[in-house]
Amino acid sequence: MDAAAITTWTFVSETAIPSDIQPMLVAGEQPIAAYKTFRDSAVFTTKRLIVRDAQGLTGKKVELYSLPYSSVNMWSSENAGTLDFNAELELWTRAGHIKIKVGKGIDVRKLDNLIAHVVLGAHSELVASVQ
């Protein structure tokens, strides 16, 4: 599948970090925050964004997207306006342009801060400030 075609994800609400994420992490990688998507979840770690996408009628088929922060060239965030219910976070990466629609109950500025810390390399400060 062409990565450029994978351009939009929606974060519905913040959620607990899924217990089954641990086997996907590499040595030294820690989960930071998780968000519920329409069908599954997205987890920010100290090294990457992992988006799990359950597919099919039963949701037993799961596709994983792993976006290392090292591939993020630029990002932008936009808070929700009066008539606009969703905020947005956009990432320009080596894989293409990714748009994340952020649900009403999620603090887009917290997400913006999280992206800034992981992309710019302040991992230890971030883990301490989020927990």
Asked whether the predicted pLDDT for residue 6 surpasses 70, the reply is: no
SS3 track for the chain: CCHHHCCEEEECEEECCCHHHHHHCCCCCCEEEEEECCCCEEEEECCEEEEEEEECCCCCEEEEEEEEHHHEEEEEEECCCCCCCCEEEEEEECCEEEEEEECCCCCHHHHHHHHHHHHHCCHHHHHHHHC
Q: Are 10 and 100 in contact (CB under 8 A)?
A: yes
Tens of pLDDT, residue by residue over 34-80, are: 999 887 899 999 999 999 887 777 767 778 889 999 999 999 988 87
Structurally, the chain folds into a number of domains equal to 1
Q: Grade residue 5 by pLDDT with cuts at 50, 70 and 90.
A: very low
Asked whether the predicted pLDDT for residue 4 surpasses 90, the reply is: no
Structure tokens at 129: 């400030």
Q: Give bridge partners of residue 33 from the DSSP assignment.
A: 44
Q: What is the pLDDT of residue 95?
A: 81
| Burial call 63-96: b when 16+ CB within 10 Å, e when fewer | eebebebeebeebebeeeeeeeebbbbebebebe
Q: Kindly calculate the radius of gyration of the chain based on its CA atoms and give it in whole angstroms.
A: 14
Question: Which residues constitute the domain of residue 117?
Answer: 3-130
Q: What is the pLDDT of residue 19?
A: 84
Structure tokens at 17: 């970090």
Q: What is the pLDDT of residue 69?
A: 92
Strands 87-93 and 72-78, sheet pairing: antiparallel
**What is the CATH number for 17?**
2.30.29.50
Tens of pLDDT, residue by residue over 81-93, are: 656 677 889 999 9
Tens of pLDDT, residue by residue over 99-118, are: 999 988 888 889 889 999 88
Q: What is the pLDDT of residue 1?
A: 44
Q: What is the pLDDT of residue 52?
A: 86
